[in-house]
Amino acid sequence: MTESLISKSIKRNEDPRLLTGNSTFIDDIEFPGMLHVAIKRSDYAHGVIKSIDTSEAKKIPGVVAIYTAEDLGDYWKAGPLQVPPPTAIPGAIFHARPLECIAKNKIRFSGEPIAVVVAESRYIAEDALDYIYLDVEMLDYVGDLEKAVEPGSALVHEDLGSNLAADVVQEVGNYEKAAAEADVVIKKRIVTTHVAGGAIENRGFVAQWDDNMKILNCWATTQGPIPMRNSIARYLGLMENQIRMINPSIGGGFGPKIMSSQIDDVIIPWIAMKLKKPIKWFEDRRENFLGTTSERDQVHYAEIALKNDGTILGVKDVFYHNTGAYDPYGMTIPLNTQTHVISNYKVPNYYTEIKMVFTNQMVVTPVRGAGRSHGIFVMERLLDAAAKKLGMDPVELRRKNLLPPEAFPFKTGVTGQDFVENILDSGNYPMALEKTVQALEYDKFKKEIQPKLRAEGKHKGIGIIMFTEGTAVGPYEGAKVMVGVTGKVNVVCAYSNQGQGHYTTLAQICASQLGVKVTDINVVIGDTGQFQWGVGAFASRGITLVGTAVHQASLKVREKALELGSKLLNTPKEELELEDGCIRIADLPEKSISLGELAMKANPTRGTVEEGMEPGLEAAAYYGPPHGATGFGCLGMIIDVDAETCKPKIERLVLTDDCGTPINPMIVDGQLHGGLQMGIGESFYEKLVYDEYGQMVTASYMDYLFPQASDMPAKMEIKHSVTPSPLNPLGVKGIGEAGAICVPACFMQALEDALYENDLDIVESSLNPSMLFHYVQKAKSA
Amino acid sequence: MADKMKVKITVNGTLYEREVEPRLLLSDFIRHDLGLTGTHVGCEHGLCGACTVLMNGEAVRSCILFTVMADGADIKTVESLGTMEKMHPIQEAFQEKHALQCGFCTPGFLMTTVEYLGKNPNPTAEEAREAIDGNFCRCTGYENIVEAVQLAAKKMAAHEQ
Amino acid sequence: MKPAPFDYFAPTSLEEALEKLTDLGYSGKVLAGGQSLIPAMNFRMARPAALVDLNKVTELSYIKPTQDGGLAIGTMTRDSAIEDSEVVKRLFPIIAEVMPNIAHKQIRNRGTFGGAVAHADPAAQIPALSLLLDAKMKIQSKKGDRWVDAQDFFMGPFMTVLEPEDLLTEVLLPGLVPGTGTSYKQISRQRGGYAQAAAISKVVMDGIKVKDVRVVLFSVAETPVLTKEPVRVLVGQVPTTEAIEAVAEYVAQNECDPGTDIHGTAEYRRNLVRVLVRRSLTEAVERARK
Ligand SMILES: Cc1cc2nc3c(=O)[nH]c(=O)nc-3n(C[C@H](O)[C@H](O)[C@H](O)COP(=O)(O)OP(=O)(O)OC[C@H]3O[C@@H](n4cnc5c(N)ncnc54)[C@H](O)[C@@H]3O)c2cc1C
Ligand code: FES
Ligand code: FES
């Protein structure tokens, strides 16, 4: 029997090179004669460009060239859309305004690129930025989501006549009828907050044009090497295989690195070809804040209708979603919000409407959590309000309304980000709830511990919320598995890795079929010279889609090896096994052939072959699920608040999560840890803030607070349940975003419970001590 | 452009004599002039800690020091620790505890830990957490790093015996 | 984020440094630890034409006990050296208590005591400490030496009495009266981050009554604030909970002027002042009683 390495916490293959400084990250790539790019970005949020004067800057010694939109001539064009419009949803209105990689005529957000400097060093390139003068006729800044769509607002895209980018209504049942029949209807205005992806490595791009071979070599920190390559091919009029796009090691992604057709991937290859020099751009932290995409601000007008016994009759949610100055990423985020609002509970009647709004802010694209956390936040806040109103225990209210295990697969009736009807593939929500409740000793805390603490003047609150994580959406990913003559195995795909551990998990999946050591499997990710097909790292889809493709390709290779081995060993396949890097007769292990030898035999160099034969111990496979796989869980927290200073401390955090079959439990926990940190960041530290003129006031880590070790609880208590996905042979689901999705809702519930003397009504996903203080003041004076 | 200055800096035991512009950041000198790209740069304003190196045995942010300020100094970077084949106990501990994901922040954490454990060979979890508080990591939520620092302490103690 | 070019000088003696500063006049700027100056230069918010680097002027780095039980601290003494110093812990436990709150170790390994004083960041701990401890600043230039009291040294946010050709060379801390109780309380958004409000108290008791008291606030006005109310109300009195509470309330309402920023409103920060003054005074009294 080949030993299965699935669900084993194996040390990571990639660690030794990362730990010893032997990984190549984008900024580590150097070529002789390389030139460096710095990008001039607009200080204004909104205005008509009168002129851009680069003449003085060009005179600086060491400056090689400066380009504005004007200088690009016909090369300048907008787009393409990276995600298509949601035409699958009947009645959906969507106005495509794809990204203009460099501003021409008009500036639409502060931080928008207006000129590109090429110089002998980054230092000199930055010197030149100081001497580029932009003359702008200022226009009013559009920043308030609700005011933006009122008549009379300044327009981000004048030709549209409005700042409404999209309007999408979906309805299940009849909410108005349900509301009319309900005992209680609760209405709230709920706001989610603008946060950054915040990878510690900023974005970067290196291009090198081989003028003899007519090959463009590119290295990029992209989460989607194939779409980026294809976008470049379209811009430059090259064949796809003339561009080799390589992912170096990437220092975290978290969403924003998915974007292509931006200034870097549009312009840098063009400059490299034009100047016939290798060109590098490595974003700095300031421009990452100003120019790189981010997300999360939405304003919801949400309501919930219930019976007196707590049964949910319906939910209505009309929300404004900020898409920033353009909408190249379509509606992925707000569609995720729509599906996630009702993903845990029986909600027979649901009305949901997205009003997507253009603003003079940076472009909005997914950040880990991507719309899901907002949906969860809205629903859980509604339930908390309902529990208060009905005088019910919040856990009891949830218990009562959770989808039961027998409901799966469950059709929510809403179309999701993948443009197919949202179907929850499998789940056992009550189990997750009860695990967290037990671990926190919820009843004991509420009935015994908390009353005592309160009597002592302490403020400790508990929160428990449910969430789902829609993951692993299509369309597809692929992979190729190849046994080499050394007996080592190559697994290649054009996915992208930013730390998720694919070098190990994909190897585990492959090793489980081929009987080789995990360390003998070399995984290559994101090199379009080695694998040509794929979509990209988003929506926690790597391990499910690429993993399944690797599994299937490995099965094919295994079958090939067995066929060939059977011939060479003169033994029926059924009596053979793959283990220890060789194929052998199970009962006679000394009769064996190493995989390396077999690989040589599979590639004959003389003689004839049978018709239909495919050479090599090699196979490719592609996998596309019918719809996404939905993970789920329950988060509980106990937070101790200093009521005088409104400083919270997370005393306990218990997360029960179910992501189907974990391939490597250690890595799964790591993903949850990191996600929780982002969730904690969003809840109480991180926030992108624009001032009244559209200037970002948080363009440094002095102002944008990054969650530190001391902001985290001493221990994240992670529990698991395993409800395999029926959609793929390994039973896996994604895990990348769970932690980031669940925290704000739980955090706010716990804060309200901690500061129990006043009836706080927290309606924002991100607070700080001062805001919490004012919530208390407001409640006091109410 | 200001005149270049001569500097003599020992990095990982090798003495380098170079001419540099006064404004050249130490992080850029290490990475681009010397090609020691294990040290990373994440913010260039002193907050994230990815650029942490040892200067005369003390952990410092190389992005907010000019190279000329390190004239005569002894610098150690992540390349001074172990090799892929034979890692330093701190590196081993980071791997065993899954204290890195993308690995971009990791060299900074390692160098911070080297200085810290040199002075505090047996930290509690709380102390270990405080020791790494000045380094940002977006991937791990820090918990495994705290455990790795403690495990590293144990490994180093065992080494010494 | 690369700094603009500048001329650079690295004198090896005080003498030479003073000479250079005089030569350079307004175009020169002192470079101490660089932990405030270099980030600002990387953002190109600061663009000095020339830097005079003190890092090779080793004579400016020392912690020397004085005859009155105080300390003379050379301007280039690193924060971490002060934090780890046994004599500092013994003579000024309040300094040892405050230091770990300044940024993180990696910054304190380079940042200097005098640099922080000269920088006069209204949110910085060391200027406030110097005010609390009634420090005397030694200022030297080619023209001569002078001493300025901490009270007169800070003019506004990032503004001091220092002229371009001046060098702050030493901070002299007079010794504490035996039995002095001190306490530091700050609230910052995150550990190592700048305080949103902070209070440092120093109390000497005479039996059950307060003999002397000093409370300094910072990060809630343009400069550190030496409060008046505690002295007015508490000296000669028993520092009851109620008395301390009343002082804290008064100080919060009348002796600070916090602003509103993205991290907190003025009202919130006033509230912090009230809480922190109460907490630090209470603790300082307790410690003075011991
Ligand atoms: C991430 C980070 C966090 C920080 N957090 C805090 C914090 O919480 N609290 C805090 O107080 N500080 C904090 N700091 C600032 C740090 O403490 C600085 O080091 C200190 O304020 C300035 O000291 P320096 O030696 O680095 O001065 P430099 O940066 O070298 O100089 C600062 C200014 O003072 C002038 N100067 C310096 N020395 C002299 C002198 N002898 N004579 C005349 N002028 C002089 C310089 O010309 C310059 O204008 C932080 C810094 C960073 C990077
Ligand atoms: S790069 Fe130096 S601290 Fe971030
Ligand atoms: S491992 Fe990715 S930032 Fe720390």
Would you kindly state where each structural domain of chain A is located, as residue ranges? 15-21+475-623, 198-291, 298-473+626-781
Q: Is C194 in the pocket of ligand 1 (CB under 6 A)?
A: yes
Contact predicate B80/B12, CB 8 Å: yes
**Nearest partner of B134 among B118, B122, B116, judged by Cα:** B116
Residues in C closer than 8 angstroms to B61, CB to CB, are 35, 106-107, 110
Residue C39, ligand 1, Cβ within 6 A: yes
Confidence at residue A38, expressed as pLDDT on a 0 to 100 scale: 98
Strand partners, C201: C183, C215
pLDDT at B38 over 70: yes
A contacts of C268 (beta carbons < 8 Å): 646, 769-770, 773-774
CA distance A484 to A603: 11
- The residue behind tokens 């005592």 is A452
Q: Which of C26, C35, C166 most suits a substitution to test ligand 1, by most atoms within 8 Å of the C-beta?
A: C35
Domains of chain B: 5-80 (3.10.20.30), 89-160 (1.10.150.120)
Closest Cβ–Cβ partner in B28, B58, B63 for C109: B58
Report strand pairing: A294-295 vs A195-196: antiparallel
Mutate which of B32, B37, B43 for ligand 2? The one with the most ligand atoms within 8 Å of its CB, which is B43
Distance from CA of C188 to the nearest CA of A (A): 10
Locate the chain B residue with the closest alpha carbon to C54: B69
Q: What is the mean pLDDT of chain A?
A: 97
Distance C158 CA to ligand 1 centre (A): 10
Nearest to C187 among A285, A647, A702 (CB): A647
Q: What's the complex ipTM?
A: 0.98
Tell me what pLDDT residue A716 has. 98
Instruction: Say yes or no: B80 contacts chain A, CB-CB below 8 A.
Output: no
Choose among C44, C187, C190: nearest Cβ to A645: C187
Angle formed by the axes of helices A225-236 and A263-275, nearest 10°: 50
Percent of all residues in chain A with a pLDDT value above 90, rounded to a whole number: 98
Summarize the confidence of residues A136-160 as an average pLDDT: 97
Q: Which residue is listed with tokens 């401890």?
A: C133
Which residues of chain B make contact with C28, given a CB cutoff of 8 A? none
What DSSP string runs through A573-641? GGGEEEETTEEEETTEEEEEEEHHHHHHHTS-SSS---TT---SSEEEEEE--SS-EEEEEEEEEEEEE
Determine the pLDDT at residue B159: 82
Which residues surround ligand 2 with Cβ inside 6 Å? Answer: B 41-44, 46-51, 61, 63
**C100-140: pLDDT as tens digits:** 999 999 999 999 999 999 999 999 999 999 999 999 999 99
Q: Are A688 and A704 in contact (CB under 8 A)?
A: yes
Tell which residue, C251, C247, C240, C254, has the closest CA to residue C273.
C251
Tell me if A440 sits within 8 A of A464, measured CB to CB.
yes
How far from the centroid of its chain's Cα atoms is residue A85's Cα?
19
List CB contacts (< 8 A) between A710 and chain B. 129-130, 133
* Chain A CB within 8 Å of residue B10 CB: no
Top CATH class of C180-289 equals alpha beta
User: Stretch C65-75: mean pLDDT, rounded?
Assistant: 97
CA C125, CA C218: separation in Å to the nearest integer?
Answer: 8
Question: How many angstroms separate the CA atoms of A529 and A531, rounded?
Answer: 6
> Following CA atoms C31, C37, C42, C43 in sequence, which dihedral angle do they give, to the nearest 10 degrees?
-150
Determine the pLDDT at residue B2. 64
Separation between Cα atoms, residue B112 and residue A8, nearest integer Å: 31
3-class SS letters over A292-334: CCEECCEEEEEEEEECCCCCEEEEEEEEEEEEECCCCCCCHHH
Find, among A735, A673, A740, the residue nearest to A375 by Cα.
A740
- The token pair that represents B129 in the structure block: 């957490």
* CATH number of the domain located at residue range(s) A298-473+626-781 in this protein: 3.30.365.10
By CA distance, what is A203's nearest residue in B?
Answer: B42
Separation in Å, CA A601 to CA A320, A570, A582, A595, B130: 62, 15, 13, 10, 58
Distance from CA of C143 to the nearest CA of A (A): 37
Q: Whole-angstrom Cα distance, residue A511 to residue A491?
A: 10
The CATH number for A15-21+475-623, chosen from 3.40.50.150, 3.40.50.2000, 3.30.365.10, 3.90.1150.10, is 3.30.365.10
Chain B residues touching C110 at Cβ < 8 A: 55, 60-61, 64-65
Identify any residues that bridge with A650 across adjacent strands, giving them in sequence order.
Answer: A639
Closest CA to C288 of C178, C129, C134, C131: C178
List the single residue in C5, C10, C191 with the smallest CB-CB distance to B2. C5
pLDDT of residue B160: 77
pLDDT tens digits along A335-367: 999 999 999 999 999 999 999 999 999 999 999
Find where tokens 């270049």 sit. Answer: B4
Q: A137 - beta bridge partners?
A: A48
Mean model confidence pLDDT for chain C: 97
Structural domain C58-173, CATH architecture: 2-Layer Sandwich (3.30)
**Residue in C185, C272, C282 to test binding to A, most A beta-carbons within 10 Å:** C272
Task: For residue A57, give the 3-state DSSP assignment.
Answer: helix
∠ at Cα C16 (C14, C21), nearest 5°?
A: 95
Mean pLDDT over residues A592-598, rounded?
Answer: 96
Mean pLDDT of A411-419: 94
Nearest CA in chain B to C33: B65
Q: Is the CATH number of domain A198-291 3.30.365.10?
A: yes
Nearest CB to C1: which of A284, A703, A710? A284
Measure B61 CA to ligand 2 centroid, in angstroms: 6
A425 Cα–ligand 1 center, Å: 57
Q: What distance in Å separates the CA atoms of residue B104 and residue B76, rounded to the nearest whole number?
A: 18
List pLDDT tens digits, range A452-498: 999 999 999 999 999 999 999 999 999 999 999 999 999 999 999 99
Residue-wise pLDDT for A388-403, tens only, equals 999 999 999 999 999 9
The fraction of chain B above a pLDDT of 70, given in percent, is 98
CA-closest residue to ligand 3 atom 3: B137
Q: What is the CB-side half-sphere exposure of residue A18 using CA atoms within 13 A? A: 26
Q: How many CA atoms lie within 13 A of A10 on its CB side?
A: 25
Put simply, the answer to whether B37 touches A25 (Cβ < 8 Å) is yes
pLDDT, one tens digit per residue, over C47-63 is: 999 999 999 999 999 99
The answer to whether the A15-21+475-623 and A198-291 domains have the same CATH topology is yes
- Please report, in angstroms and rounded to a whole number, the separation of the first and last CA atoms in chain A: 70
Max CA distance (Å), chain B: 54
**Residue among A478, A434, A418 nearest A658 (CA):** A434
Taking the model in full, what pTM does it have?
Answer: 0.97
pLDDT, tens only, A613-665: 899 999 999 999 999 999 999 999 999 999 999 999 999 999 999 999 999 99
CA distance between the termini of chain B:
54
Distance set, CA C53 to CA B45, B55, C6, C12, C31 (Å):
19, 17, 12, 9, 5
Q: What is the mean pLDDT of residues A588-610?
A: 93
User: What's the one-letter identity of residue A251?
Assistant: G
Partners of residue A700 in chain C, C-beta under 8 Å: 43
Owner of token pair 């509604």: A382
In angstroms, the CA A128 to CA A268 distance is 18
Residue ranges of chain C that CATH labels 3.30.390.50: 180-289
Residue type, C113: F
Q: How far apart are CA A27 and CA B63, in angstroms?
A: 15
Chains contacting B (3 or more CB pairs within 8 Å): A, C
B149 has a chain A CB within 8 A of its CB? no
Residues with Cβ within 8 Å of residue B6, at least 6 apart in sequence: B17, B18, B19
Out of A21, A251, A672, name the one closest to residue B78 (CB): A21
What Å distances lie between residue A370 and A331, A339, C130, CA to CA?
A: 11, 12, 49
Tokens (6 digits) for A589:
């292990």
Cβ separation A18–B140 shorter than 8 A: no
Regarding the beta carbon of B154 and ligand 3, being less than 6 Å apart is answered no
Q: How far does the CA of residue A368 sit from the closest CA of chain B (Å)?
A: 11
CB contact under 8 A, C6 and B22: yes
What does the pLDDT read at residue A782? 85
Chains with 3 or more CB pairs under 8 A to chain A: B, C
Does residue B100's CB lie within 6 angstroms of at least one atom of ligand 3?
A: yes
d(CA A522, CA A503): 7
Q: Examine the pLDDT at B161 and tell me if it is beyond 70.
A: no
User: Looking at beta carbons, which residues of chain B come within 8 Å of A22?
Assistant: 38, 84
Neighbouring-strand partners of residue A217: A208, A244
Question: Which of the following CATH numbers is that of domain C7-53: 3.20.20.70, 3.40.640.10, 3.90.420.10, 3.30.43.10?
Answer: 3.30.43.10
C88 token code pair: 């500092």
Exposed/middle/buried for residue C249 (C-beta within 10 Å: 0-12, 13-18, 19+): middle
Task: Compute the average pLDDT of residues A381-385.
Answer: 98
Cis peptide before A475 (omega within 30 of 0): yes
Residues 6 or more apart from C35 whose CB is under 8 A from it? B46, B61, B64, C103, C107, C110, C111, C115
Q: Ligand nearest C163 Cα, by number?
A: 1
Are B3 and B42 contacting, i.e. CB atoms less than 8 angstroms apart? Answer: no
Going by the DSSP 8-state scheme, the letter that residue A708 receives in this structure is: P
Cα→Cα distances A756→A387, A460, B18, Å: 14, 9, 64
Please report the pLDDT score of residue A738 as a whole number: 96
User: Is residue B1 predicted with pLDDT exceeding 60?
Assistant: no
Confidence of residue A79 (pLDDT cuts 50, 70, 90): confident
Spatial CB neighbours of A45, under 8 Å, sequence gap ≥ 6: A107, A108, A109, A110, A141, A143, A360, A361, A690, A693, A694, A695
Please report the number of interchain residue pairs, chain B to chain C, with beta-carbon separation below 8 angstroms: 91
pLDDT at B133: 98
Q: How far is B135 from chain A (nearest CA, A)?
A: 7
Neighbouring C-beta atoms of residue C178, cutoff 10 Å: 7
